[in-house]
Amino acid sequence: MQWRRFNGESIILPIKQAVAAAIKQEEEKGYKLKVCIGTDSQVKGNETDFATVIVFLREHAGGFMFIHNERSKQKFHLKERMLCEVAKSIEIAYELCDLFIEYHVEMEVHADINTNPAFKSNDALKEAMGYILGMGFAFKAKPEAFASSCCADKMVN
């Protein structure tokens, strides 16, 4: 998996090492961090582009993010695509969760799923929420899910 920073700079280290280094660096500067992980996707013809972000929020001092883009030729129904987004977020959250525990960093998984039943993405809400909460992670959906609905949304190719 190739990750990059918002400025386009590639992250050379494996993501777990890069996140650990970022947490240590921010901690040394005296910042308390919160991390939000989210994924968004966009269908373009026969392909689906996914962007997963790890958003680091500094308490009262802005933030930064790491980004991973992926392209799939698989055809998805809307609900399936929403749950695939959630699965990508959970995969990275699970890989990193022991770091967040070790460094006492609060972490949330954000799902780009609308809580309003009038929206089609709402069909996947119960499953997504069960999946995320079942893994033991804090969960946010739209409109609070800014990591997926704002940050990742801007990073989808």
- Output the pLDDT for position 51: 98
- CA-based torsion, 32, 132, 93, 119: positive or negative: negative
Would the pTM of this model clear 0.85, i.e. be above it? yes
Report the distance separating Cα 118 and Cα 114, nearest Å: 9
Q: Which two tokens stand for residue 98?
A: 């022991």
- Output the pLDDT for position 5: 97
Q: Which two tokens stand for residue 99?
A: 């770091």
**Domain at 3-155: CATH code:** 3.30.420
Look up residue 3 and give its DSSP letter. E
* Domain boundaries of the chain, sorted by first residue: 3-155
pLDDT beneath 50, residues of the chain: none
Report the distance separating Cα 114 and Cα 129, nearest Å: 12
Give DSSP secondary structure letters for 58-125. Answer: ETTS-EEEEEEEEEE-----HHHHHHHHHHHHHHHHHHHHHHHHHTT-EEEEEEEEESSTTSGGGGGH
Q: Which two tokens stand for residue 117?
A: 């039943």
Do 91 and 72 contact (CB within 8 A), yes or no? no
pLDDT in tens, 19-51: 999 999 999 999 999 999 999 999 999 999 999
Q: How far apart are the first and last CA of the chain?
A: 16
- Output the pLDDT for position 40: 97
